[in-house]
């Protein structure tokens, strides 16, 4: 493990004595895996470029699907980073660095958002673009709709909103990470208090901005449809997806020989419990949305589910709650599964795939209204985007100590024991 | 015994710098006995001078409520201001208000338990009791709101004379299931939590009557580790059941509104929005009652400023969440482009007859709680009391706005109307507060309002790894300074006691053989008292290592690692919970599908006979209900309770096992048992007050 990979302008880090593992940056130890990951991202990226010319409409939809899959995870990781500070948590100090490294993906993802915008402004993605840029309709029932959407989706307002969302996310993500890394060098409680001071507002703003992001980018795919809970649905997926990503990253590091005694199954057991909780939470939110629309049976609301009853989409709609809720629910219920690296890896991978399934089910019926038309871009896009998330995480582990080594609560995370009766 | 590498005895925690020591949850030099005494005395001493006047006031208000209900039932619902179009008004507003109040209790007792937020131990008993009283207050309204309360049985799943069953697709029936399940599970949870404390009251009782009553109610709880190991798991199971239950209850209440098509009611965020609001209002009510109770009973060391501080943060968080829901509703009403929806919200927020109520709600629930961003506002009890009063008012107005404002202006301008409450409405509402506070006053008088056994478990002395520093360095960081003002405040209450190393001596010598009234003459087993949990743990391990198998340890709270030390493993009780859940699920599925699709097929709302969606609420509630009952009965059965008499009761100091004493017993049925050798063995382990008990 080379300390040479630490930026030279900083004083060399000293590690506290008594850590059970070396937590120095992994440096070149994972270079092989990184090369593979880069190759995958570039390869799938190339496939995406080919797809752009081969089938633009399909490309933009697949791209959006892959994009929100990755962004949702990165935002979830930002949520967990900040909620750690809000709760003044101790047990999860080691895990915080994993989340900090994952939510770093927000930076590249901000750049990768440009194709989505191009899709929207070329009329390839969001149907409202043509609706609001057409002259006022003559039919009465559309007039009211047009006036509202015309204001909400006017280009300056739309772009300004998106700029605010990304500014908030990047701002908090960069600041939280910067202070955390600073603390690695200087220790003390001043930085802890600073992070704790900023985190609550960050969580509140993250909730608000990601809600409106979900409204603007996902809900508006069917622009005359609306659901007040849609923002919560979006969080619920990302929060769980980022937990699953965290588990996979930690298990991979452990498999490669890192952190074996630092982030133990005791920690992962607790992560698995939270994952179980959010599995139920997702089902609750998904059911609340479906159930109230089903019971009310009003056309402007049911259009969302009716579209997803066409042809083979119906089968996917029925399978969604079974695969995304029932299966992980029963897999995560036994204590033994939550403490087994094998099962935990399997369940986390399952949840991630199902998270993608959920977003696919949200995005793609808008394009293929009659039935499921699976396209190779639907694989390339999420793999590429998730690769970006993983690369950001790995990049962090190559440069930074694997845990916040001077955190005020290091005591509580090392040798942490999971108290269950 | 399996050796898990993570049991507590193998813990060798590293010592990294600890610049921000955790503040203990109980302040000052409290120990097990002082906690028992401080809390039990409230129920044992004569009532304070203010108690009777307070009781007189609340019970007079309650009488007013009874009067109003009697007048309503004897005359008819016309005595209320409810009308067409505002057919639901004060009745359902109060119903939802009280159901919501209960939710903080369950959040504190169940959800915070799952998150291991141990500060909850000081307040969970009180707030769980509030949950039960609030649900009783709420239950009154479905009972009387049609004016003919003798038809209440219609909501119980029984067929009428024409073999017509209830409509299982109706939110009102789900409400019945949700609320009765909620009441039952909350009561079970509360009662199970009370068991060890009822044992404490029994063992402290001076009068025969108290001894009998608490002996009966405690089912003979003596703090046996064989019981604790089931108890802890049962508690976890009930917490796990209560967590989705509490989400479901207010969700089902929200379905009463959201399944209909009234603008202002029909929106998908209603379920979580109602839950957040309920927790918000519930926390406000907990503080409203807890701050005065804490002051008059001098509980500042148990319910500390930090507790108030954290609860204020919860109020801030949930208040902001509720504000988020208000904004979502308003935004989507506009964004949807639905003119009816927007008409209602414009009327609600900007230019209607109830705009004032809307802004009372917004101010009290969203804006005013924002003061809790400031530390002083969270840590000044009298100020908190003022703010939570606003919150309680605001939460009442929230329900009033949702119900009355949405109803008074629906689709047809010709049917618009207004609501004017009558004196009966007011009297009924005030009477409900009378009921709630009467119950609360009685509870404070009669039962321990702090969970003593749980608080003992979170004392620094109960933690074998607590880093006791020299007294002068208590709660100071590496630099010798208090890291925050909170640390200084906690330290000002005094340094926590260290675990005692000597057994409290008994006044008289203990005979070597203690007879039991009506005993058989044969020995039951040997008992020894130890000074603290760690010593007992070591002694139990030594006894196990020496080949004894029929061991038991008796402790005032569950000592971690003790079940392994007496050679037991994790309880299998969860299997019973699972069996209960599956039984409930199957019963509910059979009941609903059979009745609604085959026995008397009914079309409701144009849905298919077999459509499953509307059955989900009852499926869920019955699953939880049965699982809860199975857990309760499994706990009682596996522990062999009730056990009102026990040979150990004759031991002169054994009563301390529910207060501050730690006992180890080796039973005569053990193959290695011999009265003299075992007694000598226990003494060699450092046991005091050793005796052999007659069976």
Q: Quick check: B11 contacting A, CB < 8 Å? A: yes
CA B310 to chain centre: 17
- Contact (CB<8Å) B268/A230: yes
A101–B contact, CB cutoff 8 A: no
Who among B272, B606, B614 is closest to A232 (CB)?
A: B272
Is pLDDT at B633 greater than 50 in this prediction? yes
Chain A CB contacts of B483 under 8 Å are 189
> In this structure, is residue A283 part of a structural domain?
no
pTM equals: 0.94
How many domains would you assign to chain A? 1
Could you give the C-alpha distances from A311 to A4, A364, B255, B607, in angstroms and in order?
A: 58, 13, 31, 21
The whole-number pLDDT of residue A360 equals 97
A297 part of contact set with chain B, CB < 8 Å = yes
- H or E element, residue B552: strand B551-554
Residue B4 has pLDDT above 50, yes or no: no
Average pLDDT over residues A252-281: 93
- What is the C-alpha to C-alpha distance for residues B230 and B252, in angstroms, rounded to an integer? 32
pLDDT at B14: 57
Nearest to B332 among A228, A411, A418 (CB): A228
Q: What is the DSSP letter of B495?
A: P
Give the three-state DSSP class for B526. Answer: strand
Q: What pLDDT is recorded for position B148?
A: 83
A272 neighbourhood in chain B, CB within 8 Å: none
In whole angstroms, what is the distance from residue B185 CA to residue B106 CA? Answer: 10
pLDDT tens profile B373-404? 999 999 999 999 999 999 999 999 999 999 99
Token pair for B430: 């005030």
Q: Is residue A419 part of a domain?
A: no
Is B622:B580 a contact under the CB 8 Å cutoff?
Answer: no
**Number of residues written out for chain B:** 695
- Residue B12's pLDDT is what? 47
β-strand pairing of B523-530 with B662-667: antiparallel
Interface residue B376 vs chain A (CB under 8 A): no
**Mean pLDDT for the stretch of residues A82-104:** 94
Contacts of residue B370 in chain A, CB cutoff 8 Å? none
Distance CA A232, CA A214 (A): 9
Q: How confident is the model at residue B10 (pLDDT cuts 50, 70, 90)?
A: very low
Residue A270 has pLDDT above 90, yes or no: yes
Note whether residue A335 is domain-resident: no
Show residues of chain B in contact with A414, CB under 8 Å. Answer: 13-14, 16
> Given pLDDT bands bounded at 50, 70 and 90, which one contains residue B3?
very low
Between residues 142 and 161 of chain A, which touch chain B (CB distance below 8 Å)?
A: 144-145, 147-149, 152
Interface test with A, best of B118, B258, B269, B484 (most A CBs within 10 A): B269
Cα gap A320→B456, rounded to integer Å? 47
Query: How much of chain A exceeds pLDDT 70, in percent?
Result: 97
Q: Does B269 sit within 8 Å of A226, measured CB to CB?
A: no
Own/partner pairs, A330-339, CB within 8 angstroms, 24+ separation: A332/A272, A332/A275, A332/A276, A332/A279, A333/A276, A335/A420, A337/A272, A338/A268, A338/A269, A338/A272, A338/A273, A338/A276, A339/A265, A339/A268, A339/A269, A339/A272
B214 burial type by CB count under 10 A (0-12 exposed, 13-18 middle, 19+ buried) = buried
The whole-chain average pLDDT of chain A stands at 92
Of A211, A232, A300, the CB nearest to B338: A300
Q: Report yes or no: B346 at the A interface, CB cutoff 8 Å.
A: no
**Is residue A7 scored above 80 in pLDDT?**
no
Domain assignment present for residue A262? The answer is yes
User: Which chain B positions have a beta carbon within 8 Å of A417's beta carbon?
Assistant: 6, 8, 11
A30 pLDDT more than 90? no
Residue in chain A lying closest to B569 (CA): A421
Closest chain A residue to the Cα of B6, Cα to Cα: A417
- Taking the C-alpha atoms of A229, A235, A240 and A241 in order, what is their torsion angle to the nearest 10 degrees? 120
* Least confident stretch, A165-169, B154-158, B200-204, B267-271: B154-158
pLDDT, one tens digit per residue, over B637-655 is: 999 989 999 999 999 999 9
The per-residue pLDDT for range B336-378, each reduced to its tens digit, is 988 889 999 999 999 999 999 999 999 999 999 999 999 999 9
Which has more pLDDT, B467 or B563? B563
Q: Chain A within 8 Å of B482 (Cβ-Cβ)?
A: no
Q: Which residues contact B652 (CB under 8 A, 6 or more apart)?
A: B506, B508, B510, B689
Asked if the structure places residue A93 within a domain, the reply is yes
Q: Would you state the pLDDT for residue A1?
A: 39
Give chain B positions within 8 Å (CB) of A204: 320
Q: Does A284 touch chain B (CB under 8 A)?
A: yes
pLDDT higher than 60, residue B1? no
CA–CA min distance A408, chain B (Å): 6
Residue A105 lies in a domain: yes
Q: Do A228 and B335 touch (CB under 8 A)?
A: no
On average, the pLDDT of chain B sits at: 92
CA distance A336 to chain B (A): 13
pLDDT of amino acid A12: 73
What confidence tens digit (pLDDT) does each residue in A51-74 have? 999 999 999 999 999 999 999 999
Q: What part of B 414-443 touches A (C-beta under 8 Å)?
A: none
Q: How far is B566 from chain A (nearest CA, A)?
A: 15
A188: Cα separation from own chain's centroid: 31
Say what the ipTM of the complex is: 0.93
Q: Which of A154, A228, A321, A414 to mutate to test the interface with B (most CBs of B within 10 A)?
A: A228
How many residue contacts between A and B have a Cβ separation below 8 Å?
138
Q: Which chain B residue has the Cα nearest residue A286?
A: B268
> Is B50 in CB contact (< 8 Å) with chain A?
no
Nearest-Cα residue of chain A relative to residue B244: A280
C-alpha distances (whole Å) from B194 to each of A32, B223, B237, B246, B349 are 59, 13, 16, 20, 46
Residue A292 lies in a domain: no
Q: Give B274-311 pLDDT, tens digit per residue.
A: 999 999 999 999 999 999 999 999 999 999 999 999 99
**Domain that includes residue A140, residue range:** 24-270+379-413
Cβ-nearest to B258 among A19, A285, A292: A292
Maximum Cα–Cα distance for chain A, whole Å? 75
CA angle A87, A88, A90 (to 5 degrees): 115
Do B622 and B181 contact (CB within 8 A), yes or no?
yes
The reply to whether A229 touches chain B by the CB within 8 Å rule is yes
Residue of B19, B240, B259, B465 best to disrupt the A interface, most CBs of A under 10 A: B19
Structure tokens at B539: 């002694």
Of A189, A297, A417, the CB nearest to B606: A297
Provide the shortest C-alpha distance from residue A409 to chain B (in Å).
Answer: 7
Res. A144: pLDDT tops 90: no
Which strands form B688-694's sheet, in the order they lie side by side? B513-514, B688-694, B523-530, B662-667, B551-554
Please confirm whether the linkage preceding B125 is cis (ω < 30° from 0).
no
Residue B446 scores a pLDDT above 90? yes
Contact residues, B window 560-589, toward A, CB-based 8 Å cutoff: 560, 570-571
Q: Tens of pLDDT along B215-233?
A: 999 999 999 999 999 999 9
Across residues A244-248, what is the average pLDDT?
A: 96
Position A188 scores a pLDDT of 84
Identify whether the C-beta of residue A355 lies closer than 8 Å to the C-beta of residue A69: yes
B261-300 residues touching A, CB cutoff 8 A? 261, 266-272
Residue B454: which of B209, B126, B46, B165 has the closest Cα? Answer: B126
Tell me how far CA of residue B331 lies from CA of A162, A221, B349, in angstroms.
17, 18, 12
Note the pLDDT of residue B311. Answer: 95
Residue B606 at interface with chain A, using a CB cutoff of 8 Å = yes
Q: Do A145 and B328 touch (CB under 8 A)?
A: no
What is the C-alpha to C-alpha distance for residues B673 and A8, in angstroms, rounded to an integer? 71
Domain membership of residue A202 (yes or no) is yes
Q: What is the pLDDT of residue B624?
A: 97
Query: Do residues A241 and A272 touch, judged by C-beta distance below 8 A?
Result: no
């Amino acid at each position: 493990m080379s300390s040479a990979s630490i930026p030279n302008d900083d004083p060399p880090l000293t590690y506290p004595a008594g850590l059970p593992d070396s937590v120095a940056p992994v440096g070149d130890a994972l270079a092989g895996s990184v090369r593979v990951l880069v190759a995958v991202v570039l390869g799938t990226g190339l496939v995406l470029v080919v797809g752009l010319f081969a089938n633009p409409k399909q490309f933009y939809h697949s791209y959006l699907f892959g994009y929100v899959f990755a962004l949702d995870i990165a935002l979830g990781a930002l949520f967990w980073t900040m909620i750690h500070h809000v709760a003044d948590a101790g047990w999860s100090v080691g895990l915080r660095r994993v989340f900090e490294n994952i939510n770093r993906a927000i930076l590249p993802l901000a750049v990768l958002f440009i194709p989505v915008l191009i899709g929207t402004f070329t009329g390839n993605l969001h149907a409202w673009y043509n609706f609001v840029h057409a002259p006022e309709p003559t039919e009465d029932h559309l007039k009211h709709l047009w006036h509202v959407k015309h204001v909400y989706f006017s280009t300056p307002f739309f772009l300004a909103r998106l700029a605010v969302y990304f500014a908030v996310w990047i701002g908090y993500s960069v600041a939280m990470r910067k202070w955390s890394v600073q603390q690695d060098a200087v220790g003390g409680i001043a930085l802890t208090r600073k992070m704790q001071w900023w985190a609550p507002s960050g969580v509140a703003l993250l909730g608000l901005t990601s809600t409106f992001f979900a409204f603007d980018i996902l809900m508006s795919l069917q622009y005359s449809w609306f659901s007040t809970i849609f923002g919560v649905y979006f969080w619920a997926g990302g929060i769980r997806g980022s937990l699953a990503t965290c588990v996979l990253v930690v298990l991979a590091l452990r498999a490669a020989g890192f952190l074996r005694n630092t982030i133990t199954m005791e920690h992962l057991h607790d992560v698995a419990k939270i994952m179980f909780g959010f599995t139920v939470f997702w089902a609750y939110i998904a059911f609340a949305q479906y159930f109230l629309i089903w019971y009310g049976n009003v056309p402007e609301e049911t259009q969302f589910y009716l579209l997803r009853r066409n042809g083979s989409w119906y089968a996917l709609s029925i399978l969604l709650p079974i695969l995304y809720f029932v299966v992980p629910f029963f897999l995560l219920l036994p204590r033994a599964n939550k403490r087994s690296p094998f099962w935990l890896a399997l369940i986390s991978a399952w949840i991630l795939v199902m998270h993608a399934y959920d977003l696919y089910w949200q995005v793609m019926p808008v394009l293929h209204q009659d039935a499921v038309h699976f396209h190779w871009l639907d694989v390339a896009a999420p793999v590429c985007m998730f690769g970006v998330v993983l690369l950001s995480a790995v990049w962090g582990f190559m440069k930074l100590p694997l845990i916040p080594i001077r955190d005020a609560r290091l005591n509580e995370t090392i040798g942490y024991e999971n108290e269950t009766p | 015994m399996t050796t898990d590498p993570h049991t507590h005895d193998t813990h060798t925690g590293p010592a990294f710098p600890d610049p921000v020591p955790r503040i203990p949850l109980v302040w000052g030099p409290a120990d097990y006995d002082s906690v028992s005494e401080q809390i039990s005395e409230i129920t044992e001493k004569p009532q304070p001078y203010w108690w009777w006047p307070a009781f007189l006031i609340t019970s007079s208000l309650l009488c007013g409520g009874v009067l109003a209900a009697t007048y309503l039932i004897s005359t008819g619902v016309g005595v209320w201001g409810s009308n067409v179009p505002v057919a639901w008004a004060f009745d359902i507003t109060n119903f939802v208000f009280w159901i919501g109040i209960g939710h903080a209790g369950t959040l504190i007792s169940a959800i915070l338990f799952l998150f291991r937020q141990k500060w909850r131990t000081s307040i969970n008993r009180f707030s769980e009791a509030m949950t039960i009283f609030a649900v009783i207050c709420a239950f009154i309204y479905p009972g009387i709101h049609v004016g003919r309360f003798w038809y209440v049985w219609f909501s119980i799943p029984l067929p009428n004379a024409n073999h017509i069953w209830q409509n299982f697709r109706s939110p009102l029936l789900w409400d019945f299931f949700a609320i009765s399940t909620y009441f039952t599970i909350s009561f079970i949870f509360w009662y199970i939590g009370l068991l060890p404390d009822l044992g404490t009251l029994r063992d402290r009782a001076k009068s025969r009557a108290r001894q009998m009553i608490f002996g009966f109610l405690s089912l003979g709880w003596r703090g046996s580790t064989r019981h604790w190991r089931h108890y802890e798991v049962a508690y976890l199971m009930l917490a796990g059941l209560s967590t989705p239950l509490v989400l479901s209850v207010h969700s089902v209440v929200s379905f009463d509104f959201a399944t209909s098509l009234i603008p202002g009611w029909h929106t998908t965020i209603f379920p979580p929005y109602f839950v957040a609001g309920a927790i918000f209002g519930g926390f406000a009510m907990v503080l409203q009652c807890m701050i005065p109770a804490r002051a008059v009973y001098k509980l500042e060391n148990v319910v500390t400023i930090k507790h108030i501080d954290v609860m204020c943060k919860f109020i801030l968080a949930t208040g902001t969440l509720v504000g988020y829901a208000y904004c979502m509703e308003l935004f989507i009403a506009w964004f949807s482009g639905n003119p009816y929806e927007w008409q209602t919200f414009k009327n609600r927020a900007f230019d209607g007859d109830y705009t004032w109520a809307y802004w009372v709600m917004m101010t009290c629930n969203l804006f005013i709680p924002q003061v809790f961003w400031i530390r002083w506002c969270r840590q000044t009890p009298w100020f908190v009391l003022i703010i939570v009063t606003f919150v309680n008012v605001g939460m009442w107005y929230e329900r009033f706005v949702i119900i009355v404002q949405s109803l008074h202006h629906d689709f047809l301008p010709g049917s618009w109307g207004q609501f004017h409450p009558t004196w009966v409405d007011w009297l009924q509402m005030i009477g409900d507060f009378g009921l709630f506070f009467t119950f609360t006053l009685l509870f404070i008088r009669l039962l321990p309002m702090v969970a003593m056994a749980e608080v003992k478990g979170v004392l620094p002395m109960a933690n074998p790894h607590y880093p006791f520093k020299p007294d002068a360095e208590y709660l100071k960081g590496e630099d010798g300074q208090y890291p925050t003002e909170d640390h200084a405040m906690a330290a000002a209450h005094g340094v926590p006691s260290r675990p005692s190393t000597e057994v409290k001596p008994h006044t008289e010598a203990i005979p070597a053989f203690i007879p039991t009234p009506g005993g058989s003459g044969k020995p039951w087993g040997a008992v020894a008292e130890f000074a603290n949990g760690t010593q007992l743990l070591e002694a139990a391990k030594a006894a196990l290592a020496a080949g004894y198998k029929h061991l038991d340890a008796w402790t005032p709270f569950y000592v971690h690692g003790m079940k392994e030390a007496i050679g037991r493993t994790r309880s299998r009780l969860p299997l019973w919970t699972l069996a209960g859940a599956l039984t409930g699920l199957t019963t509910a599925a059979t009941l609903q599908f059979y009745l609604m699709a085959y026995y008397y097929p009914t079309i409701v709302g144009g849905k298919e006979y077999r459509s499953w969606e509307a059955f989900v609420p009852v499926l869920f509630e019955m699953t939880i209900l049965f699982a809860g009952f199975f857990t309760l009965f499994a706990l009682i059965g596996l522990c062999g309770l009730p056990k009102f008499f026990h040979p150990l009761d004759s031991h002169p100091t054994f009563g301390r096992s529910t207060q501050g004493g730690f006992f180890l017993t080796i039973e005569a049925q053990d193959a290695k048992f011999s009265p003299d050798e075992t007694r000598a063995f226990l003494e060699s382990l450092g046991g005091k007050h050793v005796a052999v008990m007659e069976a």
